[in-house]
Amino acid sequence: MTTFSQFILQHIDGVVDEFEAFARTTGPSAEHLPSNELRDHARIVLEAVAADMATPQSSSTQHEKAQGHADTPFSRVRETACKHAQHRFEQEFTLPQMVSEYRALRASVIRRWTQQLGVADANQLAELTRFGEAIDEGLTEAIAWYSQRLDDSRNLLIGALAHDLRSPLGAIQMAAQWLLSTDRLQEGELRAVTRIASSSVRMTGYVSDLLRLQLGAIAVHNEGSPIPSDELPTLFQPLLQRRTGKPRHLGSSGLGLGLSISREIALAHGGSLDVASGPESGTTFTVRLPLAESEGRADPPRSRRQRTQCSP
């Protein structure tokens, strides 16, 4: 008897054809996307689900996965879903559009599966359940990645705006203070300039609060060639460089001081700068800085960290 995973692979072309026809109707981002980019991700997701279902699974593991508590390695389903979410984000898909793709895949496969069944036995129902769980696992990972990326983009925008607002606010505040120091203002003018000065001070405080919030989010990741393990212990030492054979970026001093200075700045603020690099996980530099404490609080400084990537 054909297993569910075998059934998926046997009917994958038809499912992907149906998926493309549906995806074209979800919005402008999908309408103009090349066929291969729209189809390939659906195929890859289904292949990952089929591979997951072909892997033996104990009843206890299945129960834990169904509850969302399974402490398992980064599965192929999750990794594929994360990369699918990244691609859809870059193509300006909305979150509901991406979620609808998983609903369409699930519905297409289940409809085809049930149409060829007579009376389902316990094993077939169990496979149907596991298929739903695998799709849910991928969907959960995709939503988590997409939502985190939206938060990162929003925080970056807020931080950039707050940073750029400081200069004009500073000019307003200095001009208002200069006018107040001239002693030449009439009563009405004095009230207006005083209001401008006090408002600019309040706005400067708001901008500072926004910038302070952004300091908690500064992890950087890429999935290029990993840093050799023998270079990691000396990576932050001054005057040492990696010999990659590649030309330096424009503006680079080439003195091997960038990472060393960055770490010293983090340490000077009571924080840290660390690196993790590997062939599967890519390279991540993580800065941790203590959050500012309110007056009168005796709690120890806390740190905030964010990391967004498509591997463990």
Spell 201-236 as b/e; 16+ CB within 10 A means b: eebbeebeebeebbbbbbbebeeeebbeeeeeeebb
- Identify the three-state secondary structure at position 305: coil
What does the radius of gyration of the chain's CA atoms come to, in whole angstroms?
27
Assess contact for 136 and 180: CB atoms under 8 A: no
Which of 111, 86, 96 minimizes the C-alpha distance to 15? 111
Classify each residue of 281-302 as buried b or exposed e, where b means 16 or more C-beta atoms within 10 Å of its C-beta.
bbbbbbbbbbeeeeeeeeeeee
Q: In the CATH scheme, what is the code of domain 218-312?
A: 3.30.565.10
Distance CA 264, CA 87 (A): 36
Q: What residues does CATH 3.30.565.10 cover in the chain?
A: 218-312
CA-to-CA distance for 283 and 275, rounded, in angstroms? 7
Sorted by sequence, the CB contacts under 8 Å of residue 102 that are 6+ apart come out as: 45, 135, 138, 139, 142
**DSSP letter (8 states) at residue 220:** E
pLDDT at 241: 59
CATH of 4-152, one of 1.10.1740, 1.10.490, 3.40.50, 2.40.10: 1.10.490
- Helix 12-23 and helix 95-115, axial crossing angle in degrees, nearest 10: 140
d(CA 211, CA 163): 7
220-222, strands of its sheet edge to edge: 220-222, 282-288, 272-278
What's the pLDDT score for residue 147? 87
Beta carbons within 10 angstroms of residue 237's beta carbon:
11
DSSP string, 231-259: GGGGTTSTT------SPPPTT---SS-HH
Facing residues of 285 across strands?
220, 275
Start and end residues for every CATH 1.10.490 domain found in the chain:
4-152
Number of H helices, E strands in the chain: 10, 3
3-state secondary structure of 37: helix
Global pTM exceeds 0.85: no
Decide: 110 and 28 in contact? Cβ < 8 Å.
no
pLDDT by 10s per residue, the chain, length 312:
688 899 999 999 999 999 999 988 887 878 788 888 888 888 999 999 999 888 877 777 666 666 655 545 557 888 888 888 988 888 888 888 889 999 999 999 999 988 888 777 888 888 888 888 889 888 888 898 888 888 778 777 777 777 788 888 889 989 999 998 888 888 889 999 999 999 988 888 888 777 665 554 476 767 678 888 888 888 888 766 555 545 444 444 455 567 888 888 888 888 888 888 888 778 888 888 776 544 444 444 433 334 445 554
| Virtual torsion, Cα 210, 216, 217, 222, nearest 10 deg | 150
Q: How many residues does the chain have?
A: 312
